[in-house]
Structure 1
C-alpha cells in the first residue's frame, strides 16, 4: 500500500474486551490514537503561535518553524484520517457509539465484512480520479484547523 498510495498501514492491535472494567472502554481505546495525534498537533500549533509572539515575523524565520509546521500538519492529518469510519481505522470503532443500537449493529457488520475493501477502493478511486481525493480534503481541513489553532 505504501508503494501505491504514499502511506503504509499496520495491522490493528488485538484488544480483548473481556479485560475492560468499564462499559464502552473500547471507545476510549479506539479514540486514544486520534486524540493523541490531536494533542500533539495542538502542542505544535501552540509552539508556532508562541514563536510569532516571540518576535518572529514568519514561520520560515523561526529556526524550528518548518519542523513545527510539518509536525502539526502530519499529526492533524493522522487524527482526521484515523477518524474516518472505515474498516481498520479507529473511526470505525468510535463513530458507532453515536448511533442507535440497530443501525450500530448493521454498520459494524458491514464494516467488519467490507471495511478494508472500502478503504482500498477509496485509495484506488483517489488515484484514478485526481479531482476526487478525500485525502486532499483531509489535508485542506488539517491546514485550516492548524491555522485556527495558531
Structure 2
C-alpha cells in the first residue's frame, strides 16, 4: 500500500478518501494449449490458476467488478484464524484468497451471514473442505452465494 509521505498530524492515517484503479490484464493465467502439446509436468502448473504476481487486493477488485459490486463501498481487511479476510460493506461480500483455508474458518465466515463469499479455488487445506464449503453455508447461512476463483 502506498502511503503519503511528509509531515502531518500524528493521528492522521494518511487516507485521502479515494481509490485509484487502473485497467490491467487478467489475474488468471493464460491456459491456451493443445492437448497433444501438454505434458504431465504441465499439469502441476495448472493447479494454481492465478498469476503469481497478483496480490489478494487484485483478486478482490476482480470479484467486485465481476459481481457488479460498487467499487466505492467500504472495504476492511481483518485477520481471522491467521488468514486475511476482506469484508466489503460489512457483509455484502466476504473474501479470503489465502492458502490453507480450514473448515473452522469457513464456519466462522458463514456465521457472519454474508450475501456473497468467495475463496481462491486452490486455497483449501483439503479437497474435503472445498467440497463441504457449500454445505456449511447452506446450513449456517443459506442465502449466501458461494464462489471460488
Instruction: Name the TM tier (shorter chain).
Output: 0.3 to 0.5
Compute the TM-score of the two structures, normalised by the length of structure 1: 0.34
Compute the TM-score of the two structures, normalised by the length of structure 2: 0.34
More strand by share: 2
More helix by share: 1
